[in-house]
Amino acid sequence: MKNKYLVIIIVSCFLLGLLWNWDNLRPRDYCRYAVDANLYKEKKAVNEKGDTAAYKILVDSMRTDKRLSKGSYFYYSFIMATIYEYVPANFDVYCALRDVYNGLDSLDADTKYMAMFFLKRGKERGDSRCEKELKQIENDKKRLNSSHLKAF
């Protein structure tokens, strides 16, 4: 009799545990490694040759893929901006740093300096996106300063 109750308790605990973790039993819809495998050629072309076409494909797909973290393209943007001196990559480095921390205000001093360095560098080299972003930052500072003066 004891064995019968013991078997019933074990089976019911197993079924309860099975239902409790039902989501863990479902197959995964995606695999993070598939993203890496799909972009392998582009990553290799960016790292080894500084291929701008591969860089554009890589950054666009990394920005739009919700499974990846926001600044996952920082490494490749940094390589293209520093080693291969690809001008649009300066803005991408800035965006990667800004997006990871949800804005410039939440960056620490060194990271903010780095982000602003790449933004100014892009402007100096003729990137219109960097110029627009710098103007926007200056306008925001002016608005913030004027609102602080009105408060006093």
User: For 85, phi and psi rounded to 5 degrees?
Assistant: 50, 45
pLDDT at 20: 67
Distances in whole angstroms, Cα of residue 136 to Cα of each of 92, 94, 102, 119, 141: 17, 14, 16, 12, 9
What tokens were used for 64?
A: 């739009």
Task: Provide CB contacts within 8 A for 129, sequence distance 6+.
Answer: 88, 91, 122
Q: What is the pLDDT of residue 60?
A: 92
Q: What pLDDT score does 77 carry?
A: 96
Q: Tens-of-pLDDT digits for all 152 residues of the chain? A: 678 888 888 888 777 776 666 566 566 555 555 556 778 899 999 999 999 999 999 999 888 888 788 888 999 999 999 999 999 999 999 999 999 988 888 999 999 999 999 999 999 999 999 999 999 999 988 887 766 555 45
Q: What is the pTM for the complete model shown?
A: 0.73
CB 80 within 8 A of CB 55: yes
The pLDDT of residue 102: 87
Q: Which two tokens stand for residue 21?
A: 């973790």
Q: Which residues are CB-neighbours of 67 under 8 A, at least 6 positions away?
A: 30, 32, 35
Give me the half-sphere count of Cα atoms (radius 13 Å) on the Cβ side of residue 23: 0
The DSSP result for 89-106, as a single string, is HHHHHHHHHHHHTTSGGG
